[in-house]
Amino acid sequence: ADGLPNEFVWHIQSGADGVLWFACGDGLARYDPGSVVSYTVADGLANDLVQRIEVATDHSLWLASRKPGITHYDKKTFLKAPGSEDLAVGNVGMRIDSQGVVWAGTSGTRAQGFYRWNGIAFKKVDDGGATLKYISGIEFNPDGTMWITCLPDTGPVKADGLWRYDGTRFYNLSPQIGLTGRVLTAVFRDSSGILWLGTARTGLLRYDGKELLSFSKQHGLPDGNVPRISQDSTGDLWFSVVGHGA
């Protein structure tokens, strides 16, 4: 689109004032009727690659990408968030919970693990030896607990699969519900409490707390690689499928 830093748009968010924000390969763009303004490292961004935009409860913005560094925009100034200098979180590994707390899960190799913004800086959450590394998704439950999906790694301790975090400890649910060997790329909790999991090769999974169901090409999916899941205002679920749209 005319005025955007480039045509590669990773993420779009709407601000409280109706302004649209575009995360692009060469910076951030602000669009309101009649104008587009672009921002880059020259304006204070941690780096020019912006893949994720999160709108906080105070209407400020948090920006992240697979390159190290998280940017906070307080509606006046772009600031590099302390403690994020080595954090590469990709386009899915940053979320804000209902209390306004920012969580970041790494997807890079410089700093690895699960991080929490404490109001001053990002600090690593003690994972109790779980060695979470390549985090591919974060989702919240109404009671404050969290779901985290992790990609496989080659280390001696396998930390991939589906994890539940209760604020104190991390629990790997993959072995007990039959997820061993699945490469999980996304996690989403729908409005009825059902958990949906995207995979890299084996389609879509549905978990209701008791039973795990699998959906693949034979159920209508065009391919087995499902990196994103969302739900619209009518309750319909949408699944992005690599090479086939949604």
CB 32 within 8 A of CB 74: no
List, for residues 6-49, the tens digit of each pLDDT value: 778 888 898 877 889 999 989 999 988 888 899 999 999 999 99
What are the backbone angles phi and psi of residue 90, rounded to the nearest 5°? Answer: 65, -155
List, for residues 159-209, the tens digit of each pLDDT value: 688 999 999 999 999 988 988 888 898 999 999 999 999 998 888 999 999
Task: Tell me the two tokens of residue 7.
Answer: 């045509």
Query: Given this model, what pLDDT does residue 92 score?
Result: 75
Provide the percentage of residues in the chain whose pLDDT is more than 70.
94
Its pTM stands at 0.87
d(CA 174, CA 209): 12
DSSP for 125-189? ---TT----SEEEEEE-TTS-EEEEE---SSSS---EEEEE-SS-EEE-HHHHT-TT--EEEEEE
